[in-house]
Amino acid sequence: MSQRALIAGDFLSLLDEHKLPPFRHELSGAAPVQTQATTVFAFHFADGILMAGDRRATAGNVIVTDRVDKVIEIDATSLLAIAGVPATAFEMARVLQTSFEYYRRSQLQALSLPAKVRALARLLRDNLPMTMQGIGVVVPLFAGLDHSTSPASPRVYFYDPLGAQFQAVGYAASGSGSGTIRSILSFQEQHGKPRPSQMNLSQAVQFALRLLMTASEFDSATGGVNPATETFATLKVLKSTGVETISEEQQKQFLKS
C-alpha cells in the first residue's frame, strides 16, 4: 500500500497509484440502450433536509423497473440521490462509501463535508470521457452535515455532468421530471403557506409525495406515487442527528393524515 495514500487517507489516490480507475471508458459500437433513472429532488424543511426519488428506471420507451432506490445512504451523515445511468451512479456510490470509510478508519475521524462534496465532483470529472460520448451520464444531488456549526447543519448540493458543484439554498432537483418539481418548489417557497422550509415532517413527506404524483402526470419516465398499487417513493431525511428513512408504511400513513 502506498505510504502517501495511506497518510492522506485518500482512497481515490490509492486507486490511481495502482492504476485501478473506478470507471472504464471504452465504448462499444454494439452498446445496448442505456437504462436511465429519474426523478430526484431535495429541499430544506423545518427539521433538516428531505431527499426523495421516484422508483422508475427506463430504457428508451421501455419501463425497466419500478423498484429502483435512487436515494442512497453513503454514511451516517451523507445522502446521494442519483439521476442518469444507474450502473455508473451505483458504482460512484460504492466508491464514495468505501472512500469515506477508508478515510474514517485510517485517520480516525470523519471526512469533512467540503471534502465529501469534492470527492463526488472528482468522480464526475473522472467520468468525463463517458459523459462526452453520451453514455454513463450522471447528474446527482448530495446532502451532508456541516459540522463547522453547532448543532451540525444539513446542506444540499447539486452538480452538472462535468463535476461542477453548487450549494442549493432551499431546494434542488434532477432528472426528467425536475422541471415540474422545481417550478412547484419555487412557487411554494415564494407564495405557499407553509413554505417548504417551514413544514414539519408530516407536511414535508406529504408535499414530497404529491410533487412526485404531479411530475408523473407530465413525464412518463417518472414513476410517481400510487397508494392503490402500493407504489411509493424512496424518502430519506437528514437531520443534525443523522439519516432517517421514511418507510412505505409511514408514507401511507402520512398521505392519509
Identity of the amino acid at 41: F
Report the alpha-carbon distance of residue 154 to residue 71 in Å, rounded: 16
**Catalytic-labelled residue, pool 38, 39, 222, 234:** 38
Is 98 designated active site?
no
CA atoms within 13 A on the CB side of 238: 27
CA atoms within 13 A on the CB side of 35: 15
Report the C-alpha dihedral over residues 164, 138, 213, 48, rounded to 10 degrees.
-50
Report the alpha-carbon distance of residue 145 to residue 148 in Å, rounded: 9
Report the alpha-carbon distance of residue 31 to residue 41 in Å, rounded: 30
Report the alpha-carbon distance of residue 38 to residue 52 in Å, rounded: 11
Beta-ladder partners of 236: 51, 245
> Which residue, 100, 84, 79, is CA-closest to 154?
79
> Which residue, 249, 244, 224, is CA-closest to 49?
244
Q: Omega before 161 cis (within 30°)?
A: no
Residues annotated as catalytic are 38
